[in-house]
Structure 1
Amino acid sequence: MKQILLIFIAIVYSNISFAQFEEEKPKKETAIDWDRVRIGGDFWFSFGDVKQFKCSPKIGYQLTDRFVPGIGINYEYYQEDLKYYDMYTGAVSLYKFKTNIYGASILASYTLVEDLYEIVKLELGSLIAYTEYSFINVDTYNQTPSGYYSSGKQWVDCLWFGGGLNFPLSKRSNVSILVIWDLIQDVRSPYASPSFRFSIGI
């Protein structure tokens, strides 16, 4: 009986020791620190003579306290009533121009000044530099003496550079107001340069 009891105690002890060994194993470190992942983008819509819906989600990774590279996707629906003059009949007509714009982007932001209050004594958040290369697919239209006609879908490159202010809302969330210029300025681009952007990030 004592031998059976000793064997039972030995088995239980070995199981407890093995369980403790398993618990003390160091946790594997993941390659990505999810606390450094930043998600944001801009959203815009308008109605009236010009109908516009824009959604551009972006995701970045904070490599340092100041530098955040990232990628994004772009989608925009645009509709506008355009007037054209028929040179043959003299009539003025309306043409309903509408298009779907989509594409992707590579971007980066760098914090130049972390707290502008230390310089100007105003609560202006931080000063950031911003750059973005985007390639978008757009419908192109040409005007003839008798109206507009589509010349098909084409890819257009944009290279944005500028900066602005970044206002923290909490430890992770923020609001950015940017002024950026397109250094390429392709005539087929639907965007004005300079362009103003308002975005939210978490």
Structure 2
Amino acid sequence: MKSKILLLFTCCTLTLLSHAIYAQDNDYYRPDSLRNENPVTEEKQPAENREVREKKPEVDFKQLPFIDRVRLGGSFGLSLGTVTNVNLSPMAGYELTEKLVAGVGLTGMYYKSRYFGVNQFYYGGRAFLMYSVVPMVNLIGELEAMNVETDTFTKYDVRKWLASPMLGAAYSQPVGGKFIKAVHFTVLYNFNYNNQLDDYGNNISPYASPFVFRITFL
């Protein structure tokens, strides 16, 4: 009898416990009872304020003011030793087109040779055209007039003008200056070199050969 009562009590207890556990499970999985202890917040990236920058219209070359087409600079040369040769030539140019520059320059040159006992000063000027084939290569045509000292059959140390038509090319490296736009490493050929002689047949050109090398800032 006691065993039957104990068995009945155990069955009732298990039934009540199962109902309680089932109720808790329903409450736990009920959607409205879900708890987010660590809620995940989405990071919102700040909207970028992109300003629309209007591109400045390119100015037509023909509309450029005079001062923006002007180029100022010059060339120089220096040789020291048995033969001293100092060459300085200020230059000015003007951009006729986007590719073509015309200009003039003045030249002063001091020449001294210990071997030949020569001590002379040359002066003159030049006019030139420079055409850009590609951005870093320019063709150059130049006419230079130089006043030099020479000897004649009747008189020594007579001054004489020499005309030198030259043609060559330059490797140009832009420098971005307002007036000096580039550095030009120039090689020119003097077509009149062999005709620049005194009465005794000596060459009186201020250059040592028909090839003229210059570094020009313009």
Report the alpha carbon displacement of residue 151 of structure 1 after superposing the two structures with TM: 4.2
Contact residue 77 and residue 214 of structure 2 kept, 8 A = no
Partner in structure 2 of residue 13 of structure 1? none
User: CA 1:135–1:32 in 2, change beyond 3 Å: closer, same or farther?
Assistant: farther
Q: Could you say what secondary structure the match of 2:144 adopts?
A: strand
- Displacement after TM superposition at 1:158 (Å): 0.3
C-alpha change, 1:75 and 1:139, in structure 2 (3 Å) is same
- Which residue identity lines up with residue 191 of structure 2 in the other structure? L
The structure that is helix-richer by fraction is 2
Q: Is the 8 A contact 2:77 2:215 kept in 1?
A: no
Runs (5+) with no aligned partner, structure 1 = 1-30, 84-95, 115-125, 144-148
Kindly provide the amino acid, as one letter, of the partner of residue 109 in structure 1.
M
Aligned residues: 143
Structure 2 match to 1:195: 212
Amino acid at match of 2:114: D
How many angstroms apart in 1 are the aligned matches of 2:177 and 2:143? 28
Cα 1:134–1:32, aligned 2, differ >3 Å: closer, same or farther? Answer: farther
Structure whose alpha-carbon radius of gyration is higher: 2
1:114-125 alignment to 2 at 5 Å? 114=135
Q: Which runs of 5+ in 2 are unaligned?
A: 1-63, 197-203
> What secondary structure sits across from 2:68 in the alignment?
helix
Q: 1:97 aligns with which of 112, 118, 122?
A: 118
2:192 & 2:79 partners in 1: Cα distance?
27
Contact 2:76–2:89 at 8 Å: present in 1 too? yes
The residue number in structure 2 matching 1:121 is none
Question: Who is 2:129 aligned against?
Answer: 108
- Return the match for 1:164 from 155, 164, 170: 170
Normalised to the residue count of structure 1, the TM-score between the two structures is 0.65
Residue in 1 aligned with 2:182? 174
Greater percentage in strand: 1
**Percent of aligned positions that are identical:** 27
TM-score of the aligned structures, taking structure 2 as reference length: 0.60
Q: Are residue 74 (structure 1) and residue 107 (structure 2) matched?
A: yes
Cα distance, 1:190 vs structure 2: 2.0
Tell me, in whole angstroms, the C-alpha distance in 2 between the residues paired with 1:71 and 1:176.
Answer: 16
Aligned ranges 1:77-88 → 2 under 5 Å:
77-83=110-116
CA RMSD of aligned residues (A): 2.1
Cα distance in 2 between the residues matched to 1:200 and 1:171:
10
Matched, 1:51 2:84: yes
Bigger mean CA deviation after superposition, 165-174 or 175-184 = 165-174
Moved over 3 A (4+): none
